[in-house]
Structure 1
Amino acid sequence: MADWQGVSEFVAVAETASFTKAAQRLGTSTAHVSRQVSLLEDRLDTRLLFRTTRRVSLTDEGDTYFQHCRLLLDGLREAESALTQLKESPRGQIKLTAPVTYGEQMIMPIILDFMIQYPDVEIDVDLTNNQLDLIDSGCDFAIRLGRLANSSLVCKRLATRKLIVCGSPTYLATNGTPHTLSELGQHNCLRGQHDYWRFREDGRERNIRISGSLRCNSGIALLDAAKQGSGLIQLPDYYLQTALDEGSVVRVLNNYQDLEEGIWALFPHRRLQPLRVKMLVAFLTDALTNKVL
């Protein structure tokens, strides 16, 4: 076991870039973590970390060693997880984060169904439009929408979404129905965070600048305004299902709809998913796939 001494502490420091955060993760003291890493460096006769009062970073040798050690620890966790998963029912806590509106409308009803089926699982949900650091926040995974930035996180697509342009029958009767992208300049386009809408024309993505009398960062509020005849909106399909079904808004410019985007579960690369997390992700995938327009 001497060969393993200090490895867990070193990997924790490398992943959190902090002796303090590594100690918190491992449930021990900062002094213990520092001592174990120093003993490891002495045994290897190699400096693995650069230490300053403000930050901790890997040396080139430390980065190489870290990549190998992480695989070894993941293998050990996977072996332990395989034994745990022999139990007949998932149990334990899951922590996740999701955007506010999507979380309220789409994720939470599914989670409540999951908890009814698996009462031994406790779920902690942080609904926020801020993209939390999964390691610092202790989240098992995050729900993210649309295009993903380059990341070290592992992702799994749960479902897809598409952007739809629509307006109320009253608005279209009064102002006409646009049939080409150039006609958008003649319409009151209710805006969210951006001054452009995304389309696809002749196989190429196009961003069309729009203008209108209302800007709001709430999709629900924009939908309410459109239903009242204030103008056109472009929103993801999950906002619009009920309104389209009941006919309070009507789709337009269907031939220019952009490609579908992913709805993702993102996981910290350092973690293997225990049975309870795998089952919740599968449950979400099944439910969301059936709900998307």
Structure 2
Amino acid sequence: MKWEGISEFVYVAEYESFTQAAKELGISIAQVSRQVSALEKRLNIKLFYRTTRKISLTEEGQVFYQHCRAVLDGLDAAEQAVSTLQSKPQGRIKLTAPVTFGEQQLLPLINDFMLQYPDIEVTAFLSNQKIDLVKGGYDLAVRIGRLRDSTMMVKKLGYRTSYVCASPDYIDEFGVPQTLADLSQHNCLLGSVDYWHFKEGSADRNIRVSGRVQYNSGYGLVDAALKGLGIVQLPDYYVQKYLESGELVSFLDDYREPEEGIWAVYPQNRHPLPKVKVLLQHLQQNLPL
């Protein structure tokens, strides 16, 4: 009796939606609503503010949610711990990662991983937006670069390197910049910001650049560079194969920013379950370190 409605309450709290909670739990919306209402009646408190547009937790609901989430996490961990004594790691892993890195690097590695562990299911949501892991019910996020959220547990998986490069045709016509100041004389292919990151001695430098092209697409910028439209700064997974083939040439290497970390991030109150641990081990073994 005490457990009735707890899962339904937690899912509604995390998705802020009775409809989505019902979908995730595989039950009807009416059943979710009945269970939450019965839970509120049993506790004699109001857990949610409900309007036609939004559902949000009351102050009492927030307190109750934190305790319920911890209990469900403990049950998941206990269930997984027992299952791993009897079989290979199993269950669903829900993760999020940046879009291009996820498409080019992460998902192929996860596909290899799933061939090794047929009892594991993976749901991956690729987004360049920072996602609330707890509310979304994620097991982990893969993030790149400097981390600012000190409330999360972190494990380093690998690194990425950015290159400044251009096509041989562009170099033949306009030459190679020898210093950071020389970039002002060149057509630079811009991404979502109008500056590039460098390291000059021990100092971090953000150099403002300009040019005829500004895309929020790494693929579009690579294509522009290959066609001789200008100079580009992009991570290795965009340009590595073109550098190796000679279709792009790297320069200003002495000013290259140190490698950026690739991190697995997960909430402090959730120790990685065995299924997540084996995935993290797989990524650490196959991403460049």
Task: Give the TM-score category using the shorter length.
Answer: 0.7 to 0.9
**2:83 aligned partner, one-letter code:** T
| 2:114 aligned partner | 115
Identify unmatched segments of 5+ residues in structure 1: none
Shift of 1:183: 1.1
Shift of 1:288: 0.9
Q: Aligned to 2:188, what secondary structure does the other structure show?
A: coil
* Residues 1:81 and 1:115: Cα distance change in structure 2 (over 3 Å): closer
Q: Which 10-residue stretch deviates more, 71-80 or 265-274?
A: 265-274
* Residues 1:25 and 1:221: Cα distance change in structure 2 (over 3 Å): closer
| 1:72 aligned partner | 71
Identify unmatched segments of 5+ residues in structure 2: none
User: Which whole-Å CA distance do the structure 2 matches of 1:124 and 1:61 have between them?
Assistant: 32
1:18 matched to 2:20? The reply is: no
User: Which whole-Å CA distance do the structure 2 matches of 1:132 and 1:39 have between them?
Assistant: 31
Shift of 1:217: 4.1
User: Which whole-Å CA distance do the structure 2 matches of 1:218 and 1:17 have between them?
Assistant: 32
* Residues 1:176 and 1:267: Cα distance change in structure 2 (over 3 Å): same
Q: What count of residue pairs does the alignment treat as equivalent?
A: 289
Deviations 1:127-155 (A, max 9, x none): 66677787898865554444567598766
Normalised TM-score (structure 2): 0.78
1:192 touches 1:219 (CA, 8 Å); kept in 2?
Answer: yes
% identity of equivalent residues: 52
2:14 touches 2:137 (CA, 8 Å); kept in 1?
Answer: no
1:252 matched to 2:215? The reply is: no
Q: Aligned to 1:160, what secondary structure does the other structure show?
A: strand
User: Which whole-Å CA distance do the structure 2 matches of 1:138 and 1:26 have between them?
Assistant: 12
| 1:208 aligned partner | 207
CA RMSD of the aligned region, Å? 3.7
* Residues 1:63 and 1:96: Cα distance change in structure 2 (over 3 Å): closer
1:16 touches 1:135 (CA, 8 Å); kept in 2?
Answer: no
**1:186 aligned partner, one-letter code:** Q
Q: Which 10-residue stretch deviates more, 188-197 or 73-82?
A: 188-197
Shift of 1:271: 7.2
User: Which whole-Å CA distance do the structure 2 matches of 1:276 and 1:122 have between them?
Assistant: 10
Normalised TM-score (structure 1): 0.77
2:97 touches 2:128 (CA, 8 Å); kept in 1?
Answer: yes
Q: Which 10-residue stretch deviates more, 201-210 or 57-66?
A: 201-210
Q: Aligned to 1:37, what secondary structure does the other structure show?
A: helix
Alignment of 1:192-271 (within 5 A): 192-201=191-200, 203-227=202-226, 229-265=228-264
